[in-house]
Structures are given as structure tokens and as C-alpha cells.
Structure 1
């Protein structure tokens, strides 16, 4: 089954309420870009979250190295502001610039973007150009249940695309070459409710992978009950599928994923992020895919502070032994965090 795509112009869809028009205060638009330098155990999270009701924004640059980043300030570099003015948007040059200097320039809408940033103290400079290797695939909401809060009269949307990233990172006196494949994604006019208890779901994990033009995989899911997940007993998920969005590109053909089974083998002892896991998936032709992965970098992130949100760089292997490095992100709410904390305390005291 062919997946839907969005036109290139959606890269700059950033509507704001008209005079007298009432929008939900939780309405957001986003732009996410990232990259990894796996040989140095480095990952980067580059993000803008627009809040058009106010209108304000948040976002910036997070660069993390290694797996011992427990607190946000443990990361190698952070410049993430929670409250900024609406970014400068120049439609004549297709650029978006935040108040803290993160600049997104679409050299070709829907296909090529250059992301630049330089901190005032010289500690971090980024210049990376990302070129699409997949179509601009359409996606809906990110969190299960989120769609219940959307206004059906409003034009909401989202997109995902794998990119080939080439550039440089200067980090605290060291210069690193960037040459990787990484996903980008964005949302527009989605209602992402932050009210306490509004989204009672298990931890949700995003695992994009690029092995080559013949195999590109992506899924968002929670761990199914038959894997004896750490969330067992905390949430009722019924008989719904464990994934709510997934696709694979095989030899240039985009296919829908109809089943995902993600089995976590090891959790981080301090931040509880999965550090080793297996993924099995089936596409709409019946083909089965199996991947094993391990985190080489991991961090807690400041984005979405009403949740526990984490990014990582994962080393994935397919059944042929081919290796891919990419972000693995996971998000959960307080019910799970509290349960994991109490279990860790009980284990430490045993």
C-alpha cells in the first residue's frame, strides 16, 4: 500500500489565529532535525516548537555525548529556551530563525535544508546540510490518543523524511565531520495537551533506521504486553496494536507496516531509557523484518517538560549484519516515571 505524501510547501506551514479566532492554547507546530557522529558517541537534537495561540516559541540546540547524561546540563552543550518570541520567518529565502540563533534554511522545500547555529561563547557551532533520501511522508499525531483533542474543522498534519546529513560540528574546541543519515519531522496545527493525566499511555518509542536505499524503516510504538514490559500493570491498552505509525522503504517502494513487536532487553539504570532492544515488524506484503539495537549515546532532554523525554543514538543491526546509526527517542509521563523510580529504590535496598 502506497503511503501518503505532503507537498514541499508544507515545510513552511506555520499558521496563526486570525483576529477574533479562538484556538486551543495547546496548539503547536514543530520542526525537528538531528544528526549523529557515532564514532564519537555524539547525538544532536535541533528543535523549534511554535505555540501560535500566544504567540511564542521554544527550542534550540542539544548536543549529547556518551550515555551518562542524567541531568539536562550533563549534555555536552545545551542552548534551549522555553520562552522565545515567534521566530523570524522569511518566505523570500525560506528561512526560519529563532531568537537564540538556530537557523533553518530550506534550500529546496521538501528536499534540502541547511541548519546553522553558533553559540555566543564559541562553545558550539553547527553547519549541516540535509538532503532527502525518502519522500516527504505524511503522518498524523505522535502520541496515542492525541487525535481525540484535534479540531476536525482545522487542517492538522505532520511529515517525516530521512535525510543524508553532511557538515561540521565544532564542540568545545574539537571539530567533527558530520556524515550520517537522520530523520527530520514536523507537525502543524496539532493539539498536544499538557494537562496532567490527559494521555494515559505506556512509554512511546520512535526508532527510525537507514541501512541503505534498499531498506529504510520507521516506527512509533509501545512495548507489547507479551514482552513483559516494565509498564505492565500500570496501563490498560486493550487489544489495540502496539504501534500507531510505521513504514518501510524497500528498494524504493514505500510500504505500510502492519505489525510491530518491540522487546526491550535492558533499561538505563538512571534515566530508564531502553539501552538494548529488539524490533520485529511485518509489512503489508507479509515480509518480516528483525532488528537488534543498542544505545551508544543517550540523554534527558528539556523539550516537553511535562513528560520525561529522552534522545539517544542507537546502533542497529539487521538480519544480514548491516549496521545503521540513528536517533531513538522515547517519552513517558509521571505514572511510569514514579513506578520506575520506586522499583530502582527497592532494588538498591534489597
Structure 2
């Protein structure tokens, strides 16, 4: 799998339909950033979803602490609006109606993120500095590519950043100093029609151990791990991952094989609580990681499905540890199966 890069100018790529032009209503652009304060089990999800066919946006800020955030309102702080006007864009700074600013001070390399809640309960002032190239990424969900065509000109990018600054939550100041991924999509057609993407739960597990080892993959659990989704979906003989890479110093390598094995599911959120990931890169080098969630939450970004964000503590075979987001998404057939599974466990 060849890994390519995008120019920094794509950070500000937010096209709108031309006069008289009609776009698929499910066309989206996105910006995602996140950060964590692992010692206090805090994670943050910062997201803007642009819907240019209308045009409108949705998004905002979710801050969660611990692993019991089952309802959206369980989170420590939530300011996420489903319908906002197109943001203000000025000199590289994107500002939403609910006060989130993403300022690309040097597109492709540096961004400043600022937010202050209207009632002053929460604020942050952060700088995100790139530590990897701006890597080109295709679609996020398997099957999504079926809804793209030459005229849509879809694209996406991923990048690890060093996130520094501070979070103020309910009067307490938390220094932020972590390595976190950011990503975005543009002109992707992400359909919400029921049954449009019949796929097992997909998990995204970026992790930064140091400049010599930065790993990223998105996959479903393969059948040989006896996943909870067995019997619900027919995945054929396709690989369990559809996008993965590893950064070894200055070298970016594609990943040829991923095996993600979930050891424990959250009893109410139903996402992976403990898991192992093994992988092989294009040179034949092998990798193995073991992880456990220290924070987890249900996130409102995609209301037609179940979407979870978390902070995972990862360990490699040499004892090095790191913390990063782990995100998982699935649709209702799987969710109902997990509810039945939880009920059986409760009555066993």
C-alpha cells in the first residue's frame, strides 16, 4: 500500500457548489482534532462537519473523563450543535457559530485551537505542531468508496501533532502536552441511508511512541479472533484493514497486514475496552501492541450509528507506553446484538 502526502493548502479546502451546481446532500468536509490528559483520564473530541450542499455545519467540543460516559450528557462537558451556519473563514482561521476556532497559522504544519464556553465552564487554548507528514487518506468507512465517482474529487489526510497548551474545566486548569492525531476529509460522500454500509464495527487506533515508531490503522476484527460480530456480516476474503501506515523516523511505510483482537468489550458502551493489535509492514517488519481504555464516551458526531471515542493506554513489546485516541463506529444490527449479549451475561 503506497502512502502519499498532501500539500498544506488542503487544510483550508472547503469548496461549495458553484451557482447552478447540485451536489449529493451527503457530501461532507470535516476537521478533527483531539487531545488527552491521561493522568486524569480526560479525553477531548473536537470536530467540525461541513455539509456544503445546504450549506451548513455541525460540530463543536466534547470533553469526557473516565469510562462511564454512556449518554452524551454523561460527559464532563458537551457543546455540540447539529445545525450551524457556514463558519467564518478569515486568514486561515475557521470559526464556528458556537465559538470554536481552528486557526491554521501554517497550513500542513501548525494550527492553533481556541474555545471558551458561553458560561465560562470550559475553555482551551492549544497549539498543534506537526510531527509527521500530512499523509493522504481515502475513505473512512468500508463501502464508502462505492458512493464516490470521478466528479466528486474526494480526499482526506491524517497527521500526528504535538498538542500543547491548557484546558480549563470547572475552575481547574489542566496542562496539555500530548501527541495526538488529527484528520480531515473533503468532498466525500458519506451516506446516512439505512443499510448503506453493511460492515462490522470499525476501529481506528493511531499511536505515537516516539519519532522512531508512529503507528496507525483502521480495521474491523477478523473472523479468526472470534469477534462479537460473527454471523452478522459477510466480509468475504477482503483484508480486515483498509488503511494503515507506520512512521519510522523519516520513513513512512505502508502496512500489509493487521490483526486486531478484542479481549474485552465495555459492558454498556460495547466498544473495545482491552485489545491487541499485530501488524506487518511492507518491509516485513512485525509489530505488536496491547491496549486498554482509560477514558471512553459515546459521541454525537454521527447520530445514524454508534460512535465511540476513547483514550487508550498502549504498550509495545519493549515496555514503552503511550496514550492516544481509539475510535470505533458501528450500525444498529451490531448494537442490537451487543445488547442481547449484555442481557445474556447479566442473567448468567
TM range (shorter): over 0.9
Match of 1:208 in 2: 206
Cα distance, 1:2 vs structure 2? 5.5
Q: Distance in 2 between matches of 1:274 and 1:63?
A: 19
Q: Show CA shifts across 1:85-126 (max 9, x none).
A: 011111xx2000000000000110100000000001111001
Cα distance, 1:197 vs structure 2? 0.5
1:1-350 mapped onto 2 (5 Å cutoff): 3-90=3-90, 93-350=91-348
Q: Distance in 1 between matches of 2:272 and 2:154?
A: 31
Q: CA RMSD in A?
A: 0.8
Q: Distance in 1 between matches of 2:213 and 2:203?
A: 20
Q: Show CA shifts across 1:124-156 (max 9, x none).
A: 001110000000000000000100001222221
The runs of at least 4 consecutive aligned structure 1 residues that moved more than 3 Å come to: none
**Contact 2:132–2:159, Cα closer than 8 Å, also in 1:** yes
Q: Distance in 2 between matches of 1:106 and 1:348?
A: 49
Cα distance, 1:54 vs structure 2? 0.5
Q: Distance in 2 between matches of 1:154 and 1:50?
A: 15
**Contact 1:72–1:300, Cα closer than 8 Å, also in 2:** yes
Cα distance, 1:336 vs structure 2? 0.2
Q: Distance in 2 between matches of 1:310 and 1:126?
A: 22
**Contact 2:152–2:188, Cα closer than 8 Å, also in 1:** no
Q: Distance in 1 between matches of 2:338 and 2:168?
A: 36
Q: Show CA shifts across 1:234-286 (max 9, x none).
A: 00000000000000011221000000000000000001010100000000000
Q: What SS is found at the alignment partner of 2:260?
A: strand
- TM-score using structure 2 length: 0.99
- TM-score using structure 1 length: 0.98
Structure 1: unaligned runs, 5 residues or longer: none
Structure 2: unaligned runs, 5 residues or longer: none
Q: Show CA shifts across 1:209-232 (max 9, x none).
A: 000000000000000000000000
Q: Show CA shifts across 1:291-321 (max 9, x none).
A: 0000000000010000100000000001111
**Contact 2:32–2:47, Cα closer than 8 Å, also in 1:** yes
Q: Distance in 1 between matches of 2:173 and 2:18?
A: 45
Cα distance, 1:347 vs structure 2? 2.1
Q: What SS is found at the alignment partner of 2:340?
A: helix
Q: Distance in 2 between matches of 1:293 and 1:342?
A: 26
Q: Distance in 2 between matches of 1:197 and 1:3?
A: 31
**Contact 1:134–1:163, Cα closer than 8 Å, also in 2:** yes
Q: What SS is found at the alignment partner of 2:174?
A: strand
Cα distance, 1:69 vs structure 2? 0.6
**Contact 1:2–1:254, Cα closer than 8 Å, also in 2:** no
**Contact 2:66–2:294, Cα closer than 8 Å, also in 1:** yes
